[in-house]
Amino acid sequence: MRIRNALLLIINAIAPLALYCVLNNPALADAFVNILDEIQAGCNAAHGFKTFGSQVKCIETGTVGLTIYPNTGDIQLYLLTAEKLADDVAKKKITVASARVELQKAYLDFRERRDRKNAEASAQANAAKLETQRQEAEVERRREVAEAQSRSDEAARQYAQAQANAQMMADIQNCVALAYERQNALAASPNPSVRNVASGQQGLRNMAGVTMENACQSDPNWYRSIPVAPQTSHCAPDYLGGYNCTVQ
C-alpha cells in the first residue's frame, strides 16, 4: 500500500507539468509518450494495483492534469476507452485479459494519432522554415542584383567622366595651340599695324597675368578672341610716312 500511495503522489506531481510542457511544445511529445508508458507500467499488479479497475483508476489519476490543457482529445479518448473497459470487466462483459489487450490497442492507437500529428506539425514547421529560407535567399538575391547594378552604374559614370575629361583636355590643348598660332601669325605679319595690335594685346594679357594656358582652361573657345592675321601680299611706304599694304 505504501508503494502504491507513493506512486500516486509521484504521478500526480509530474503529470500536470509534463503535460503542459508537451502540449505547448510538440517537440516534447515523444517524452510525454514515454511518461505515459511509465504511468501504465506503474499502475500494474506488481505495484499494488491488483484489479483492472484499480489499474485504470491509477492511469486516470496520473493523467488528471490533462483536462485543464487544450488539445487533449487523443488522451480523453484513451481514458474513456479505459473507463469503458473497466466497466465492462466489472459487469463481466469482458475478461480482464481481453480488457488489457483492448486497453493496449487503445494506447497504441493514441500513439499512432500522436505520431501522425507530430509528423504533420514537423512537416508544417519544415515548410515554414523552407519558405523563410526562400524569402531570405530572394532578399539576398535582390540585394546582390542591386549592388551589381550600382557597381555597373558607377563604372559607367566613371567611364563617361573620363571621356568628358579627355575631351576637355583635348579641347584645351587645341585652344592653346590655336591661340599661339594666331598670336604668332599676328606678330609675324608684314603689316606693322597688325604687329602693333598683336604686341598691344599681348602686353595687356601680360599685365593681367593671363596666359594662353589658363585662359583656355577657363574657356576652350578663348582662342577666338585673338583675331586671325590678315594675309598680306605686299606693303610699300606711302606719302604720309606709313605703309600701304595689299591684303588678300
pTM more than 0.75 = no
Q: Is residue 209 part of a domain?
A: yes
Residue 16 pLDDT grade (very low, low, confident, very high; cuts 50, 70, 90): very low
Can you name the residues that pair with 244 across neighbouring β-strands?
236
Cβ contact 96:89 at 8 Å:
yes
pLDDT tens digits for range 98-120: 998 998 898 888 888 888 888 99
Q: Is residue 116 part of a domain?
A: no
Per-residue model confidence (pLDDT) at position 27: 46
Q: For 162, how many CA atoms within 13 A lie in the half-sphere containing its CB? A: 6
Phi first, then psi, for residue 234 (nearest 5°) are -160, 135
Distances (CA, A) of 46 to 1, 40, 60, 86, 89: 11, 12, 18, 19, 20
Please tell me the distance from the alpha carbon of residue 86 to that of residue 43, in angstroms, as a whole number.
14
Q: Is residue 242 part of a domain?
A: yes
Picking from 62, 73, 72, the residue whose alpha carbon sits closest to that of residue 10 is: 62
Q: Is residue 105 part of a domain?
A: no
Please tell me the distance from the alpha carbon of residue 117 to that of residue 15, in angstroms, as a whole number.
21
Which one of 59, 74, 94 terminates a domain?
Answer: 94
Q: Is residue 207 part of a domain?
A: yes
The grid coordinates listed for 58 are 491509477
Which one of 55, 78, 94 terminates a domain?
Answer: 94
Distance of CA 35 to the CA centre of its chain: 43
Please tell me the distance from the alpha carbon of residue 80 to that of residue 82, in angstroms, as a whole number.
5
Which one of 48, 70, 94 terminates a domain?
Answer: 94
| Mean pLDDT value of segment 58-62 | 83
Which residue has better confidence, 49 or 244? 49
Calculate the average pLDDT of the chain.
80
- What's the number of domains the chain is made of? 2
Q: Is residue 17 part of a domain?
A: yes
Q: Is residue 227 part of a domain?
A: yes
By residue count, the chain amounts to 248
Q: Where are the alpha helices (DSSP H) in the chain?
A: 2-23, 29-42, 52-62, 73-90, 96-187, 192-208, 212-218
Q: Is residue 123 part of a domain?
A: no
Instruction: State the residue range of the domain holding 202.
Output: 169-247
- What single-letter amino acid sits at 67? T
pLDDT tens digits for range 201-222: 888 888 888 888 999 999 999 9
